[in-house]
Amino acid sequence: MIDLLKKLFLSDKGATAVEYGLILALIALAAVVAIGGVANETVNMWTDVANRVTEVS
């Protein structure tokens, strides 16, 4: 039993999984922020187009 606990305590597989999880979370956060910025710009662009079409009509 003590040998099993020593192996678990000295294992670094869990730490590696946590590191990969943090990296994945940061990448996902960056993607969400980037998509949010593009979405806002796209909405603003189409609003401008709609306003210009309304002014000309």
pLDDT at position 17 is 80
| C-alpha 1 chain-centroid distance | 41
Residue 29 CA to residue 52 CA, distance in Å, equals 35
Give the pTM.
0.57
pLDDT at position 42 is 95
Which one-letter DSSP state was computed for residue 1? -
Positions in the chain whose pLDDT score sits under 50: none
Residue 16 CA to residue 24 CA, distance in Å, equals 12
Which one-letter DSSP state was computed for residue 7? H
